[in-house]
């Protein structure tokens, strides 16, 4: 009887600790994402600046059009796509996967840029 009780305790305790640990993990991750940085790409004189932007995972990148004509921001791999941005309009995208993301303006395909997510 005594041995059986000990055996159950020995099995249940690690299981309960594991549940507590696994339950706690997503909360920590959510808080980490909320404190992530943001970055900015300026669209000016038919250029994306900086042309290559390097950010950490979870960063929200905002493109702002400073030109007098509309531009958009279109991912080469279909990851994100903005509508046409008029002067001073913004488009934001949060990068949740690591990698290199090339993009362009589909109104002026020679306008290209890249976001590197580490
Ligand atoms: Cu453009």
pLDDT in tens, 27-63: 445 444 455 699 999 999 999 999 999 999 999 999 9
Does the residue 20 lie in any domain?
A: no
Supply the pLDDT for residue 5: 58
Supply the pLDDT for residue 9: 56
Does the residue 5 lie in any domain?
A: no
Question: For the chain, how many residues are written?
Answer: 118
How many angstroms does the Cα of residue 45 sit away from the middle of ligand 1?
9
User: Is 0.75 surpassed by the pTM of this model?
Assistant: no
Domain span at residue 112?
A: 38-117
How many angstroms does the Cα of residue 104 sit away from the middle of ligand 1?
8
- In the chain, how many domains are there? 1
Which contiguous run of DSSP H or E holds residue 30?
helix 2-34
Determine contact, residues 87/68, Cβ cutoff 8 Å: yes
Average pLDDT, the chain: 84
Determine contact, residues 49/42, Cβ cutoff 8 Å: yes
How many angstroms does the Cα of residue 6 sit away from the middle of ligand 1?
71
Supply the pLDDT for residue 81: 98
Residue 115: how many other CB atoms lie within 10 Å? 26
- Domain holding 97: CATH number? 2.60.40.420
How many angstroms does the Cα of residue 59 sit away from the middle of ligand 1?
24
DSSP state of 114: E
């Amino acid at each position: 009887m005594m041995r059986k009780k000990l055996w159950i305790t020995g099995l249940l305790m690690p299981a309960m600790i594991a549940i507590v640990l696994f339950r706690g993990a997503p909360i920590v991750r959510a808080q980490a994402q909320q404190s992530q940085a943001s970055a900015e790409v300026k669209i000016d004189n038919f250029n994306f600046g900086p042309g290559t932007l390097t950010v950490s995972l979870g960063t929200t990148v905002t493109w702002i059009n400073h030109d007098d004509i509309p531009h958009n921001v279109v991912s080469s791999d279909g990851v994100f796509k903005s509508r046409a941005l008029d002067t001073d309009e913004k488009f934001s995208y949060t990068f949740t996967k690591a990698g290199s993301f090339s993009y362009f303006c589909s109104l002026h395909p020679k306008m290209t840029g890249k976001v590197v997510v580490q």
